[in-house]
Amino acid sequence: MRTYLVTGGAGFIGSNYIHYMFRKYGDTIKIINVDALTYAGNLENLKDLEKKENYIFIRANICDKEAIEKIFAENEIDRVVHFAAESHVDRSIRDPEIFVQTNVLGTAVMLNCAKAAWELPDGSFQKDKKFLHVSTDEVYGSLEKEGEYFCETTPYAPHSPYSASKAGSDMLVKAYMDTYHFPANITNCSNNYGPYQFPEKLIPLIINNALQGRKLPVYGDGKNVRDWLYVEDHAKAIDMVQEKGRLFETYNVGGHNEKQNIEIVNIIIETLQEMLEDSDPRKALVTRDLITYVEDRKGHDRRYAIAPDKIKAQIGWYPETMFKDGIRKTIKWYFEHEDWMKNVTSGDYQKYYNEMYGSR
């Protein structure tokens, strides 16, 4: 039975990946989920897996070297899938230091612990051990010209503390691959959306606010472009890179779904109007009048777009979910999990939301 160590598995992408892996492999794999359970980590995301004998949750911070060493010492880890990271740009602008600690130092701890556990006396590594570092397209900076796309050779040019910290973590992984021939890959993905996404991010924020008749905050002129990837397609890509990817390679994972932020907001409004029953009182609340333009984010990149040509050519992965289908699936999930949304939008999140958007 192959054992996977998944960091940040209680978060949005991590929990979707764990669900995907159990759907695909069932009881033929074991997953150890390590998560510090910060504001974005939510064990409700994995409630249906709690009684599985081949699923283990360990609450630990990836910066805690002793805790991570203990996990490697007590388990025969075959794969590491490293999601754990501070990931929200707005938070990084307000508190950069925690992003450096978690994203850079935490990645260094994970690399060192995996290296120590897998390395043989001659400096080579045990067979069939792999480390996958999950990163972002934001490390590449901003595309200024129409028709340009990020590829794996695009120079890094991060503009926010978040993207700079992720660029630093990528460089560490690259250094370990080059220096030690450490068995690793890096994936850089575009914006994800889908079930379990914490509602500080654009799509769940707009869905939640619209259903409550609250303002829909849009940064600047709303014309910033992002490439949107349905989270299950991302989970599939990660699995395929682990199984078929060439060691030491980086793979860009994009959705072929470029849209302006204001387009996303309008699509969500239209889709909610279509999906809500006429008898549902929330339908009358969901209108374009809720759209509110707010002061732009500092250092806001204008456009991201990924060319996933390499991963398609070498591995055979391609995004399967068109945005019009993915957004309906996402909204349907939020309709069916209203209690989940209520739980995560109470308390600290509400305080954060008011601080970020209340005065804009």
Q: How far apart are CA 34 and CA 177, in angstroms?
A: 23
- Verify whether residue 20 is a known catalytic residue: no
Could you give the CA distance from residue 5 to residue 20 in angstroms, rounded to a whole number? 15
Summarised one tens digit per residue, pLDDT across range 177-212 is 999 999 999 999 999 999 999 888 899 999 999 999
Q: How far is Cα 310 from Cα 314, in angstroms, rounded to an integer? A: 6
Helix (H, G, I), strand (E, B) or coil at 49: helix
Catalytic residue among 162, 193, 219, 334: 162
Instruction: List the catalytic residue out of 35, 90, 138, 233.
Output: 138
Residue 149 annotated to the active site: no
Domains of the chain by start residue, with CATH: 2-193+228-255+299-321 (3.40.50.720)
Beta bridge partners of 227: 258
pLDDT single digits (tens) 268-310: 999 999 999 999 999 999 999 999 999 988 888 899 999 999 9
Told to judge if 162 belongs to the known catalytic residues of this protein, a careful annotator would answer yes
- Answer yes or no: are the C-beta atoms of 30 and 56 closer than 8 Å: yes
The residue annotated as part of the active site, out of 86, 137, 200, 233, is 137
- Per the prediction, the chain carries an average pLDDT of 94
Residue with tokens 């980590």: 41
pTM here is: 0.94
